[in-house]
Amino acid sequence: MCICVNCRHLDNCTTYEFITKQHNGLLKLSNMIFHPTNTIINANINKKHGQVFIDWDLIECLSFVEKPGNWLK
């Protein structure tokens, strides 16, 4: 699971923007100014009914500051 969802920096993080784009999401955040340090992104490759799916998750980030439910807004 991506730790971004409970991160205080969610609204302006360049790594979160990258992960969202990889999920083919349209990101409408305007201030991508925060560049986290020492991040590890996990790309899980799955195959179902002949199609390949990639699930991107940020699993480690030294800049992580917990803010539970931040992504719910």
What separation in angstroms does the CA of 20 have from each of 49, 50, 63, 71?
Answer: 24, 24, 18, 12
Domain ranges in the chain are: 3-65
This prediction's pTM = 0.76
Question: Tens of pLDDT along the chain (73 residues)?
Answer: 788 889 999 888 999 888 888 887 666 656 778 999 999 999 999 998 999 989 899 999 999 999 998 877 6
Amino acid letter for position 22: Q
Give the span between the Cα atoms of 51 and 12, in whole angstroms. 33
